Amino acid sequence: MIFSKKKEIVTPYSVEECGSCKAISKRKFKEGDYIFKNTDSCSSCKGQLSIVKIFGEVLKV
């Protein structure tokens, strides 16, 4: 469970990949995100973006 660490703030991110041009973009995790979920369309080629990875980034306080 990535949110349970003590004295660290973990910000979750989602990584989206375009199914057509394979462009990868990272954005903040949104409620309801899950791996392989289809999200927006690609800003460069209008292909289908889907989430390929969700990870937490630890912020040092």
The three state secondary structure string of 16-48 is: EEECCCCCEEEEECCCCCCCCCEEEECCCCCCE
35 is an interface residue for Zn ion by CB under 5 A: no
The residue whose two tokens read 């995790």 is: 29
In the list 45, 53, 55, 57, the residue contacting Zn ion (rule: CB under 5 A) is 45
Smallest CA-to-CA distance from 50 within 30, 41, 28 is with 41
Number of residues this chain uses to bind Zn ion (CB under 5 A):
7
Closer Cβ to Zn ion, 47 or 56, answer by number: 47
In the list 13, 20, 25, 39, the residue contacting Zn ion (rule: CB under 5 A) is 20
Contacts with Zn ion by CB under 5 A lie at 18, 20-21, 23, 42, 45, 47
